[in-house]
Amino acid sequence: MPRILLLPGDGIGPEVTAQARRVLEAAARGADLALDFEEDLIGGASIDAHGTPLTDAAVARAKACHAVLLGAVGGPKWDAMPVATRPEKGLLRIRKELGLFANLRPAVVFPALVAASTLRPEVVAGIDLLVVRELTGGIYFGEPRGQALVNGRREARNTMVYDEEEIARIARVAFEAARKRRRAVTHVHKANVLEVSQLWVQVVQEVAADYPDVSLQHQLVDSMAMLLLREPANYDVIVTGNLFGDILSDEAAMITGSLGMLPSASLGAGGVGLYEPVHGSAPDIAGKNQANPLAAILSVAMLLEHSLDAPEAAEAIREAVAGALADGHRTRDLILPGQDLAAIGCVEMGDRVLARLERS
Ligand code: IPM
Ligand code: MG
């Protein structure tokens, strides 16, 4: 029986994970799939209980599972802590320990949500892009790193480093994904300044030779940030390093209407996949039943597709989400000032998606 490890984490993590679990159970039932759930701590919750953002026991548990469903980490309570011991370190560690180098962040605009975007409807209509973010390398993990006192002054450094194999394997993920989509890859870099990016351009170009049926363009990261606002529907697969991918995926999410809509899958060479909403822990609304569970629910669809080989169940969830939105149901984040819509809570949105799912 497939084992799923729940790591709800901090802030709104537990609320959205609870709704995602309900939807996963219902979809799995519909597909005659029996699942076994386990739960553990990550982030601030783990710091409070164990003094560390992720225990070795939780890592071992994750490695023994088929998939991990994660909520969010971090919050003001732990904000003053040094980088090395913060809640975020738990997330970075589990990505690294599970070898999850490929982070897939699809950004699509649901027709019912075109008006929720801050961009004009004609710009937003038709957005369907996939950010393929390298997740276990680059400046997030490079050494040397840290703060030191040099000649009486505080100095800090981080290192952006990639080797050619790390670049080639994420490039292959992007080209393979493009083959199942519109066959267009945009590689995002800063090669006019960074040697690391020059190596990316070379290696991505080399990998492209194996994919003559997929088009490739290279785009500077600053232009890309601009182009995503100007003509987001023109992009298919965007492949980039860890830091640029972090930034651009928040932008990609927001132009589709809300950060509360974007799911993600983190995959690697090992068998375990990790699924999490792209949004953070939103401490300001935590525990108030105001969070949008749809990013977590859509992450569960990715889990069914990539870890449980149940693409129909995944599609049923996506349709149920689209249906709930088409029925006019909105959490707070999906309503712009001046729009005449009443907000429902996190649990109620879970109810609406479940109702739609059970009808199908
Ligand atoms: C994300 C988040 C994380 C990241 C943080 C919480 C460490 O912003 O998944 O995008 O930077 O990778
Ligand atoms: Mg981020």
Which atom of ligand 1 lies nearest, measured to the CA of 74? 6
Which residue reads 């023994």 in tokens? 64
For residues 16 and 275, the answer to whether their CB atoms sit within 8 Å is no
Angle between helices 221-230 and 242-255 (to 10 degrees): 10
For residues 26 and 359, the answer to whether their CB atoms sit within 8 Å is no
| pLDDT given for residue 258 in this prediction | 83
| pLDDT given for residue 339 in this prediction | 82
Q: How far is the CA of 217 from the centre of ligand 1 (A)?
A: 26
User: What ranges do the domains of the chain cover?
Assistant: 1-102+261-360, 128-255
CA distance 127 to 145: 38
Torsion-angle region of residue 133: left (phi > 0), alpha (psi -120 to 50) or beta? beta
Which atom of ligand 1 lies nearest, measured to the CA of 246? 10
| pLDDT given for residue 115 in this prediction | 86
Ligand 1: residue whose CA is nearest its atom 12: 246
pLDDT tens-digit series, residues 6-33: 999 999 999 999 999 999 999 999 999 9
CA distance 11 to 287: 7
Mean pLDDT of 282-292: 97
**Between 115 and 58, the higher pLDDT residue:** 58
User: Above 90 in pLDDT, residue 214?
Assistant: yes
User: Above 90 in pLDDT, residue 217?
Assistant: yes
Task: Name the pairing type of β-strands 67-72 and 3-9.
Answer: parallel
Mean pLDDT of 133-148: 98
For residues 349 and 331, the answer to whether their CB atoms sit within 8 Å is yes
Which atom of ligand 1 lies nearest, measured to the CA of 242? 12
Assign 193 a pLDDT band (cuts: 50, 70, 90): very high
pLDDT tens-digit series, residues 247-285: 999 999 889 988 899 999 999 988 899 999 999 999 999
* Residue 91 CB less than 6 A away from ligand 1: yes
Assign 348 a pLDDT band (cuts: 50, 70, 90): very high
Asked if domains 1-102+261-360 and 128-255 share a fold, the reply is yes
Among all ligands shown, which has an atom nearest to the Cα of 103?
1
Task: Name the pairing type of β-strands 146-150 and 153-157.
Answer: antiparallel
| pLDDT given for residue 44 in this prediction | 98
The reply to whether 140 belongs to the active site is: yes
Give how far the C-alpha of residue 233 lies from the chain's centroid of Cα atoms, to the nearest Å. Answer: 20
The reply to whether 222 belongs to the active site is: yes
Mean pLDDT of 216-225: 98
Residue 208 amino acid letter: A
Assigned CATH for 128-255: 3.40.718.10
Mean confidence (pLDDT) of the chain: 96
Domain 1-102+261-360: give its CATH superfamily.
Isopropylmalate Dehydrogenase (3.40.718.10)
User: Above 90 in pLDDT, residue 299?
Assistant: yes
User: Above 90 in pLDDT, residue 166?
Assistant: yes
Q: Kindly report the three-state secondary structure assignment for every residue of the chain.
A: CCEEEEEEECCCHHHHHHHHHHHHHHHHHHCCCCCEEEECCCCHHHHHHHCCCCCHHHHHHHHCCCEEEEEECCCHHHCCCCHHHCHHHHHHHHHHHCCCCEEEEEEECCHHHHHHCCCCHHHHCCCEEEEEEECCCHHHCCCCCEEEEECCEEEEECCCCCCHHHHHHHHHHHHHHHHCCCCEEEEEECCCCCHHHHHHHHHHHHHHCCCCCCEEEEEEHHHHHHHHHHCHHHCCEEEECHHHHHHHHHHHHHHCCCHHHCEEEEECCCCCEEEEECCCCCHHHCCCCCCCCHHHHHHHHHHHHHCCCCHHHHHHHHHHHHHHHHCCCECHHHCCCCCCCCECCHHHHHHHHHHHHHHC
Mean pLDDT of 297-316: 97
Which residue reads 């792209």 in tokens? 278
CA distance 300 to 286: 21
| pLDDT given for residue 222 in this prediction | 98
* Residue 88 CB less than 6 A away from ligand 1: yes
Assign 294 a pLDDT band (cuts: 50, 70, 90): very high
For residues 341 and 330, the answer to whether their CB atoms sit within 8 Å is yes
| pLDDT given for residue 224 in this prediction | 98
| pLDDT given for residue 206 in this prediction | 98
Choose among 251, 263, 202: nearest CA to 223.
251
pLDDT tens-digit series, residues 51-89: 999 999 999 999 999 999 999 999 999 999 998 899 999
For residues 274 and 330, the answer to whether their CB atoms sit within 8 Å is no
Model pTM above 0.85: yes
What is the torsion angle, in degrees rounded to the nearest 10, for the CA atoms of residue 44, residue 50, residue 56 and residue 58? -60
